[in-house]
Amino acid sequence: MTAMYDLLCSIVIGGILLLMLVGFNGTITEQAGAQTVRMMAQSSLTTIGDLVDYEFRKMGYQVPKGTDSAIVFADTSMITFKADIDNDGTVDILTYQLDSSPSQNANTKTRYLYRIKNGQTQLINLGLTQFRITYYDSSGTELISYPIQRPSHIKSLKIAMNAESLVPYIERSESYLKASPGAYWEQTIKPRNIR
């Protein structure tokens, strides 16, 4: 009888250990998936951030001196400016604009970022959920009337972007669901050539 009792206890303890191991494995798998999604969002954001940082720093480069401002239009999620981006002696007109409607991706929180260079539209579909620009004058005071009426007053700008995976991913915590993991990028840029 004691052998049967020992066998039954061993099965129960083994079952508990097996359930703990399966639960631990599920948690590890979920965390690995969330980390992969987070890394994809971070990689996308780094790609967009490098492009934005490079082109915004060239704002006003090789623009003729008689021009009032290299910035043509400035709003919270759209900017149009002039610069010789390719350094080929031709002044380019660039527009960055976040689409207000949901993208066609599986994650409908993501938006398309349009980069328009001399009328040629390039669609950037890397999972942006936010693209916000804040403008500052020469004293560092934020310009708050949008769209900016006098772009020549803009001397620096801060770009803030959020990105998520193009495919929605929901993390399950112990007691609640967490939204798709994402990444955040923020940069203050002071282009040398805007006046």
Query: What is residue 67's predicted lDDT score, i.e. its pLDDT?
Result: 65
Which residues are CB-neighbours of 105 under 8 A, at least 6 positions away?
A: 125, 127, 166, 167
Q: H-helix or E-strand containing 63? A: none
3-state secondary structure of 161: strand
* Tokens (6 digits) for 72: 């043509």
Amino acid at 109: K
Query: What is residue 160's predicted lDDT score, i.e. its pLDDT?
Result: 95
pLDDT tens digit at each of 195 positions of the chain: 777 887 888 888 888 888 888 888 877 877 777 777 777 778 888 888 899 999 999 998 888 876 677 899 999 999 999 999 988 889 999 999 998 887 787 777 888 999 999 999 998 888 888 999 999 998 989 998 888 888 888 999 999 999 888 777 666 655 555 556 778 899 999 998 885
Total residues found in the chain within this entry: 195
